[in-house]
C-alpha cells in the first residue's frame, strides 16, 4: 500500500484540477474549513484539497487518478460523524465531498422504495418520502446536515432502530465507485435477490474504506396514522428491562422506541432552562420514553392498556401519555437534548456501547460503580436506546471540578467501561463506528480472525490502500 506520497500538495491540486476542472476543487483554507472541522473538535489534520465532483463519472475519474498516482481519498457526506472517519489522519488525503450528488433519482412510496444520491441530506429524503405519502424511518440528531452516503457508510442508528433497523436494514442496494474507478452497479429495489455475495452490506458500514457510495435504493414505509407516546417513571434499569419485555410482547413490531434517561438528565435540562415544562409525571430515578405506532387500519389504544398493566405489576410508578403533538414534541426534545445538556453542565466523557439487552441493568450498575471508584463525585449519565441494547454511557464531571483535569483522566474511564462491556459480550461501538478514534481499541478487542478477514477483504478490493487509509483498520 502507498502510505507516504511523493507528490507535494500543489502537484496534487494541479492533478485534481486537470481531472475534475477548477470548479470541482477547493484548496483555499477558508473554503476547506467546513470540510476539515468536525463536530468533536478532536481531529485537526490538514488536507491538500477538497474534491467536489459533480457526478458519478467525475467520482470515477477521481478514483482512477488517485489509484494510479497514490493519492489517498476520504469520502465525506455531511461531515457529522463522531469518530473522525470523514477527516484526514495523515494530512495527505484528499477529501471527496459527495455533496453535489444530491438528487432523488426515483421514488415509489406505495411500492416502498426510493433511490437517492449519496449527497442527499437526510431531512430532504424525509420530505421527499412524505410528499409521496411514505416514510424513511431513520431519525438522528444531525438529520439537517447528515447525507445518505455517510449515513450508510457509518450504518447510522437513531431512535427508530427498534422497529425499522439500522441504516443497513433500510437500504436495498447501493451504487459505489471502487478504489480503481470501476462502478459497482448495485442499485436495486428488489426485496429478494439471491444471486451471489452480499456486496451491499459489505459497502454499508465500511466507513468509505472499500468503495465510495454514490447512490442508494432506500426502503420506504407507510406513514402511521398516529403515534402513542409516553414518558413513564421507573425505579431502576431492572424495572425498565421488565417493562421493555412486556411492551415488546404486547406491541410486537409496532413498538417504535424505548429510550431511557436517568433523573440527572431531567435535572440538567431543567436547570439549564432547556425545557419550557417538565414532560415527566414526577421526580423519579429513571424515565423511559416509549412510543408505539398505529397503522392506518388499526383501532384502539395499545400503549394505554400496556401502561395500566405495567402499573398493576409495579413495573412503573407513574406515566404521562402525550395528548397533543406539542406534548409529544416536548417528550422527544427531552430525549434529544441529552447530549447538549451535558455540554452545558461541563466536561463529559462518552461511550457509545451496546450489550445483549438482558445485560443492560448490569452494564449500568457495574460501569457506574467502576468509574465512581476512579473519580470521586463523577456523575454517571447512561441513557439512550435501551430497546436496542445501546446505551450512550456518558460521565459528567464532578460539580466544580476542572473540565480539563477531568478530561485528562479519560483513559482509565474508557478502559473501565470497555472492560465492563466486553465482559458482558457487548460492542465498544454500537452506532458511531470506528473511524480514526477507535482503531487501536478495535485491534485490542475484536475477534482476531474477524480482523484478518477484514484485512484480506480490504486488500482484495483496494490493493493500493487508496480509500480512507488508516480508518477502521490501522
Looking at residues 234 to 273 of the shown chain, list those that interact with a second copy (rule: CB under 8 A): 245, 248-254
The minimum distance between CB 243 and a second copy, in angstroms, equals 11
Residues whose CB is less than 8 angstroms from the CB of residue 90 and which lie 6 or more positions away in sequence, other chains included:
3, 45, 72, 469, 470
Q: Is residue 474 within the footprint of a second copy (CB under 8 A)?
A: no
| Comparison of 193 and 325: residue with beta carbon closer to a second copy | 193
Query: Strands of 183-186's sheet, edge to edge?
Result: 104-108, 113-117, 212-219, 171-177, 183-186
Q: Is residue 362 within the footprint of a second copy (CB under 8 A)?
A: no
Site mask for a second copy (CB under 8 A), range 152-171, x = bound: --xx-x---x-x-xx-xx--
Q: Is residue 293 within the footprint of a second copy (CB under 8 A)?
A: yes
Write out 149-198 in H/E/C secondary structure: HHHHHCCCCCCCHHHHCCHHHHEEEEEEECCCCCEEEECCCCCCCCCCCC
List binders of a second copy among 19-78 (CB under 8 A): none
List binders of a second copy among 376-395 (CB under 8 A): 385, 388-390
Among 387, 250, 236, 265, which residue's Cα sits nearest to residue 307? 250
Rounded CA separation 61/65 (Å): 6
The minimum distance between CB 436 and a second copy, in angstroms, equals 14
Rounded CA separation 312/300 (Å): 20
List binders of a second copy among 199-238 (CB under 8 A): 199, 201-202, 204-206, 210, 221-222, 224
The minimum distance between CB 90 and a second copy, in angstroms, equals 21
| CA distance readout (Å), 388 to 236, 249, 360 | 18, 15, 10
| Comparison of 13 and 424: residue with beta carbon closer to a second copy | 424
| Comparison of 169 and 336: residue with beta carbon closer to a second copy | 169
Which residues are bridge partners to 134 per DSSP? 222
Q: Is residue 291 within the footprint of a second copy (CB under 8 A)?
A: no
Near a second copy by CB under 8 A: residue from 19, 401, 454, 464: 454
Rounded CA separation 205/431 (Å): 10
The minimum distance between CB 313 and a second copy, in angstroms, equals 14
Q: Is residue 399 within the footprint of a second copy (CB under 8 A)?
A: no
The minimum distance between CB 374 and a second copy, in angstroms, equals 24
Task: With beta carbons less than 8 A apart as the criterion, state whether 182 and 171 touch.
Answer: no
Size of the site for a second copy (CB under 8 A): 98
Amino acid at each position: 500500500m502507498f502510505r507516504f506520497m511523493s507528490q507535494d500538495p500543489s502537484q496534487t491540486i494541479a492533478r485534481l484540477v486537470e481531472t475534475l476542472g477548477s470548479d470541482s476543487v477547493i484548496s483555499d483554507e477558508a473554503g476547506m474549513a467546513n470540510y476539515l472541522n468536525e463536530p468533536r473538535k478532536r481531529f485537526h489534520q490538514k488536507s491538500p484539497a477538497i474534491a467536489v465532483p459533480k457526478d458519478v463519472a467525475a467520482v470515477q475519474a477521481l478514483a482512477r487518478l488517485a489509484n494510479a498516482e497514490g493519492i489517498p481519498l476520504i469520502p465525506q457526506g455531511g461531515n457529522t460523524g463522531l469518530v473522525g472517519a470523514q477527516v484526514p489522519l495523515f494530512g495527505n488525503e484528499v477529501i471527496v465531498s459527495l455533496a453535489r450528488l444530491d438528487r432523488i433519482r426515483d421514488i415509489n412510496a406505495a411500492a416502498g422504495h426510493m433511490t437517492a444520491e449519496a449527497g442527499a441530506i437526510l431531512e430532504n429524503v424525509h420530505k421527499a418520502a412524505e410528499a409521496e405519502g411514505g416514510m424513511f424511518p431513520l431519525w438522528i440528531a444531525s438529520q439537517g446536515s447528515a447525507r445518505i452516503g455517510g449515513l450508510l457508510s457509518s450504518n447510522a442508528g437513531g431512535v427508530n432502530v427498534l422497529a425499522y433497523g439500522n441504516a443497513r436494514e433500510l437500504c436495498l442496494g447501493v451504487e459505489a465507485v471502487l478504489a480503481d474507478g470501476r462502478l459497482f452497479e448495485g442499485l436495486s429495489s428488489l426485496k429478494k435477490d439471491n444471486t451471489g455475495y452480499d456486496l451491499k452490506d459489505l459497502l454499508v458500514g465500511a466507513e468509505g474504506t472499500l468503495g465510495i457510495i454514490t447512490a442508494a435504493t432506500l426502503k420506504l414505509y407507510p406513514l402511521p396514522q398516529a403515534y402513542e407516546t409516553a414518558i413513564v417513571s421507573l425505579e431502576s434499569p431492572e424495572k425498565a428491562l421488565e417493562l421493555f419485555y412486556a411492551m415488546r410482547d404486547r406491541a410486537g413490531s409496532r413498538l417504535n422506541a424505548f429510550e431511557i434517561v436517568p433523573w440527572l438528565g431531567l435535572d440538567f435540562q431543567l436547570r439549564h432552562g432547556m425545557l419550557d415544562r417538565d414532560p415527566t409525571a414526577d421526580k423519579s430515578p429513571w424515565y423511559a420514553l416509549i412510543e408505539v405506532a398505529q397503522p392506518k387500519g388499526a383501532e384502539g389504544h395499545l400503549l394505554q392498556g400496556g401502561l395500566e398493566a405495567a402499573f398493576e405489576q409495579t413495573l412503573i410508578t407513574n406515566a404521562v401519555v402525550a395528548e397533543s403533538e406539542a406534548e409529544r414534541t416536548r417528550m422527544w426534545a427531552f430525549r434529544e437534548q441529552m447530549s447538549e445538556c451535558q455540554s452545558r453542565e461541563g466536561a463529559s466523557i462518552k461511550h457509545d456501547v451496546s450489550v445483549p439487552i438482558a445485560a443492560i441493568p448490569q452494564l449500568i450498575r457495574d460501569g457506574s460503580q467502576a468509574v465512581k471508584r476512579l473519580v470521586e463525585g463523577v456523575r454517571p449519565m447512561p441513557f439512550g436506546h435501551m430497546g436496542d441494547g445501546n446505551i450512550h454511557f456518558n460521565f459528567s464531571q464532578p460539580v466544580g471540578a476542572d473540565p480539563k483535569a477531568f478530561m485528562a483522566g479519560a483513559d482509565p474511564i474508557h478502559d473501565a467501561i470497555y472492560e465492563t462491556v466486553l465482559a458482558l459480550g457487548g460492542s465498544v461501538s454500537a452506532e458511531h463506528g470506528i473511524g480514526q478514534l477507535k482503531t487501536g481499541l478495535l485491534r485490542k478487542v475484536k475477534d482476531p480472525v474477524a480482523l484478518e478477514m477484514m484485512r484480506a477483504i480490504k486488500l482484495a478490493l483496494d490493493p493500493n490502500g487508496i480509500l480512507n487509509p488508516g480508518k477502521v483498520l490501522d
